[in-house]
Chains A and B, each alone.
Chain A
Amino acid sequence: MNEATPLTLAALGGVVSERSGVVNIALEGMMLMSAFTGYVVAFQTHNLWLGVLAGVLTGVLIASLHAALSISLMVDQIVSGFVINILALGITGVFFKGFLQEASVAGPGVLPTWQIPLLSKIPVIGPILFIHQPITYAMLLAIVLIQFLLFYTVWGLRTRAVGEHPLAADTVGINVYAVRYVAVILSGGLAGLGGAYFSLQQIGQFLPNMTGGRGFIALAAMIFGKWKPLGAFYACLLFAGAEALSGRIQITGVHIPFQFLGMLPYLLTIIVVAGAMGRAVAPAADGKPYRKA
């Protein structure tokens, strides 16, 4: 469940964005930047919650950049996402070398674990579902919330319509650009929260490239989960399981070089996506900029 938290949050971000027709490969960069700013703010203010907030806002900010580039300026969505990823890697790397490397002796710590009274005492599922740190609870809430928003509300219907056939949505008076901006920015917020997980919930440190490509694994999970919030979550559990497994095997000291074990989640991603691609149907207008006549 812990490893699945950032994956799921990012995958949900992917679902929301792509359902509106904007491919968001910048999830990785958004998470990394958010992990960084979240840590810096928490370190400076000695308040982990402000750090989480900063992480979310960073995600929103970068998503706005992605939205402006890909929706208004009609830059290729992959190119825009790629640029953001490289930018995030570069900026966080430089600042880490410049300031954090020496200062990181006494970090701000990690978010507390909340044990839900009574519920956590249920055998087997109690510890799985009800003893977690806050971002994991937020992730579980977000799954339910996004599933509801996308499939049961007016906002969701319009977002899906825009992702399938923006011109049709336009002809019934829906503002295609506004719908896409909202979706991409929400996507950034989710990814930002996922980023805060790394530095504030998992280890209480910032390390260069600490997201390690999980934004991309999240995208794979989104595809495997057929662009549905619940489906994406199940896929994330699978990938997170592979990650946990590779960690466990390393501890047991089996004579497999750890580099190979570390490959496990990525390898699984490739296999799963190769199998799922083609069968899962993406939103019809996914990745296509909308140009008003």
Chain B
Amino acid sequence: MDLVIEWGQVHALLGENGAGKTTLMNVVYGLVRADNGEIIYDGSPATIHGPTDAIRLGIGMVHQHFMLIPPLTVAENIILGHETVGPVSTVDVAKARKQVSALATRYQLEVDPAARVANLSVGMQQRVEILKTLYRGARLLIMDEPTAVLTPQEAQGLFEILRGLAKEGKAIIFITHKLGEVIDIADRITVMRHGKVVATTTPGESSPADLARLMVGRPVMLQVNKQPARPGKAVMQLQHLVVEDERRQTAVNGVDLEVRSGEIVGIAGVEGNGQNELVEALVGLRQPRAGTILLNGRDVTRTSARTFISLGVGHIPADRHRMGIVLEHSIADNLVLATYDRPPFASGIVRQLGAVLSYAKKLVKAFDIRAKSPAQPVASLSGGNQQKVVAARELGRNPKVLIASQPTRGLDVGSIEFIHKQIVTQRDAGLGVLLVSSELDEVLSLADRVAVMYRGQIVGVLEGKDAERERIGLMMAGAA
């Protein structure tokens, strides 16, 4: 593949998950070796065997998962590897802090050099990452999915920073799969699909719909097609729920919420504001410290996950590998993971493998799981199809309420479309859905009501039609 980046521009690299964007940039940064081809930098061929070479050439990378060391201070993180050295090889902390402050002022990226990274917000940590590359004299900045962890406002702030850097003559490669921000920030756009460049264009020349088509290779519906909800009576009610995390800190702090049948309630919020703990409490995996969970009016607060399952709670967990599927087991076994021990899949202590297999065949077909046979291990499927297995299992047993946490994370557009359609169809058939997602677009396009979560509390509930991005964004940051 070929790609030309020019100085003083923000160049967006757009593509679906697995299109090869990150791999390509890891080659440029020296973390992965290219099998073939060459990199021309500043007019001459560059050999990049490792990050050290890349740094020397003036290439800096801000990784999707930050490369910061939480217990160390901001200054220590920034100078690591290029330390300011005092006598007998000591680290000159005072000098480091002064340099960091100077750099921060110059680029208007204020941050306290003495603060511990562990205590910083995600947005601030990203600043530290950018400063880290600037400290090393980076002229080409690679940003890998930088807005994935930011609120819309923080993302706007980042865009301003990036525009400022571009104006200074630096080149910025902006990796993303979000169409909206590409139009916002990029001077040029390169679209990748299956490891190849399919188009290079500019925001003026292409609409989001064009870009989506290029990305996926076929026309895509950007909006979820759905009728207004016709909610029935409440299926799940939370009353002043308080849940603690592993370290016994309060993660969910007094949540009142109701999910009615036939509606999708979305929970928006920046990751780490108590959503995971809330979800685990709602499926019976985590005992709340206080408050009540009612299922169809019945108090199930101190029961087990098994009770939740038998009362019709479906769960699509955020991390399918850790909680959703048993990778080594077959598709069929995974599809009956919640119901394997009851008729028709078992009689007494004996499993009825025939019934399991025919049920699996039915679901594989209904959910369009691309597999040769239901007996093959789930590990052999693509990520999108693995997630379809989870969705098929949970929706296939006709739950009353579905708790879906990041149901489309890391999936390609086609699979996202499919899973969204399934959720909406089931809603129309009377299912109550609680959708937790850090992708605001997903919440906005699916949910009939949006609850915003910030620091363990629901800071506001908006009806789908008057849920505007800006307002939700402010709430996500705790500002409204």
Q: Are A174 and B69 in contact (CB under 8 A)?
A: no
In the complex, the answer to whether B72 meets A154 with C-beta atoms within 8 Å is no
Question: B71 and A293: CB pair below 8 A?
Answer: no
Shortest Cβ distance from B467 into chain A, in angstroms? 37
Task: Give the interface size class of chain A.
Answer: 20 to 34
B80 within 8 A of partner (CB)? yes
Judged by a CB distance under 8 angstroms, whether A164 is at the interface is yes
A145-183 vs B, CB cutoff 8 Å, 1 = contact: the mask equals: 000000011111110110011011111111000000000
Q: Are the CB atoms of B80 and A169 closer together than 8 Å?
A: yes
The 5 lowest CB-CB distance pairs between A and B, nearest first, are A172-B81, A168-B67, A173-B52, A164-B69, A154-B83
Q: How many A-B residue pairs have CB under 8 A?
A: 70
Given A153-B88, A157-B80, A161-B80, do A171 and B69 touch, yes or no (CB 8 Å)? Answer: no
B160 to chain A, nearest CB (A): 26
Verify A173–B91 contact, CB threshold 8 A.
Answer: no
Residue of chain A at shortest CB distance from B55: A173
Cα distance, A172 to B31, chains bound together (Å): 11
Among A152, A158, A165, A293, contact of B67 (Cβ-Cβ < 8 Å): A165
Are the CB atoms of B69 and A165 closer together than 8 Å? yes
> Could you tell me which B residues sit within 8 Å of A by CB distance?
26, 29, 31-32, 50-52, 55, 61, 63, 66-72, 76, 80-83, 85, 88-91, 132, 136
Cβ–Cβ < 8 Å partners of B132 in chain A: 172
Q: Is the CB of B52 within 8 A of A153?
A: no
Complex alpha-carbon distance, A293 and B51, angstroms: 12
Shortest distance between the CB of A285 and any CB in chain B (Å): 10
Interface centre among A156, A160, A165, A169 (most CB of B within 10 A): A165
Whether the pair A167, B72 counts as a contact (CB closer than 8 A) is no
- Asked if A171 and B91 sit within 8 Å, CB to CB, the answer is no
- Which of the listed residues A157, A161, A167 has the most CB atoms from chain B within 10 Å of its own CB? A157
Q: List 6 A-B contacts (CB under 8 A).
A: A153-B90, A154-B83, A157-B91, A164-B71, A164-B72, A168-B66
Closest to A278 in B: B247
CA distance A158 to B83 in the complex (A): 10
Is A154 touching B85 in the complex (CB atoms < 8 A)?
A: yes
Q: B187 to nearest A CB, angstroms?
A: 27
Contact between B50 and A173, CB atoms less than 8 A apart: yes
User: Given the complex, which residues of A lie within 8 Å of B80, measured CB to CB?
Assistant: 157-158, 161, 168-169, 172, 174
Across the interface, do A153 and B91 meet the contact criterion of CB distance under 8 Å?
A: yes
The answer to whether A160 touches B31 (Cβ under 8 A) is: no
CB atoms of A168 and B91 under 8 A apart:
no
Chain B: minimal CB distance from A56 (Å): 23
- Are B67 and A172 in contact, CB atoms less than 8 angstroms apart? yes
A164–B66 CA distance with the chains assembled, in angstroms: 13
Partner of B89, one of A154, A161, A172, A284: A154
User: With a CB–CB cut-off of 8 A, which chain B residues contact A167?
Assistant: 67
CB of B91 within 8 A of CB of A293, answer no
User: Are B69 and A161 in touch, CB under 8 angstroms?
Assistant: yes
On whether the beta carbons of B51 and A172 are closer than 8 Å, the reply is yes
Identify the closest chain A residue to B53 (Cβ).
Answer: A173
Could you say which residues of chain A place their CB within 8 Å of the CB of B89? 153-155
Are A160 and B55 in contact, CB atoms less than 8 angstroms apart?
A: no
Which A residue sits closest to B83, measured CB to CB?
A154
Further contacts, 5 of them, CB under 8 A, given A153-B88, A164-B69, A169-B81: A152-B91, A154-B90, A155-B89, A168-B80, A284-B70
Q: What residues of B have a CB within 8 angstroms of the CB of A174 in the complex? A: 80-81
Would you call B83 and A160 a contact (CB within 8 A)? Answer: no
B166 CB to closest chain A CB, in angstroms? 23
CB closest chain-A residue, reference B67: A168
Contacts of A170 in B (CB 8 A): 31, 51
In the complex, chain A residues whose CB is within 8 Å of the CB of B55: 172-173
Interface set, chain A 2-31, CB cutoff 8 A to B: none
Query: CB distance B69 to A293 under 8 Å?
Result: no
